[in-house]
């Protein structure tokens, strides 16, 4: 689910859910040397099966780059459009 301990620390306290509907929460990143990078500890309301798939809904805010040039004088551009 994660690639590093830094990614896990960004989502501490996030809510997770299994396919069967069991809800849980990410507690903290596992210590270094315990499992692969990105290993974390989570608690769940009920016991989950090894075959359960765990979902984490993530939203990351991205600021869009300005893709347009603002029109400073509307009247000049309007005249140009009528000449086509």
Q: Which regions of the chain are under pLDDT 50?
A: none
Q: What whole-number distance in Å separates Cα of residue 40 and Cα of residue 60?
A: 20
Say what the pLDDT of residue 78 is.
58
Report residue 23 as tokens.
């809800």
Q: What whole-number distance in Å separates Cα of residue 11 and Cα of residue 29?
A: 10
Say what the pLDDT of residue 33 is.
76
DSSP string spanning the chain? --SSHHHHHHTTT-EEEETT--EEEEEEEPPTTSSSTT-EEEEESSPPPTTPPEEE------PPP--SPPPS-HHHHHHHHHT-
């Amino acid at each position: 689910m994660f690639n590093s301990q830094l990614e896990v620390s960004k989502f501490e306290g996030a809510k997770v859910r299994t396919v069967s509907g069991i809800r849980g929460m990410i507690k903290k990143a596992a210590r270094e040397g315990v499992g692969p990078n990105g290993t974390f500890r989570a608690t769940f309301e009920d016991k989950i099966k090894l075959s359960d798939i765990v979902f984490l809904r993530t939203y990351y805010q991205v600021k869009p780059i300005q893709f347009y040039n603002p029109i400073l004088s509307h009247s000049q551009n309007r005249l140009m459009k009528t000449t086509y």
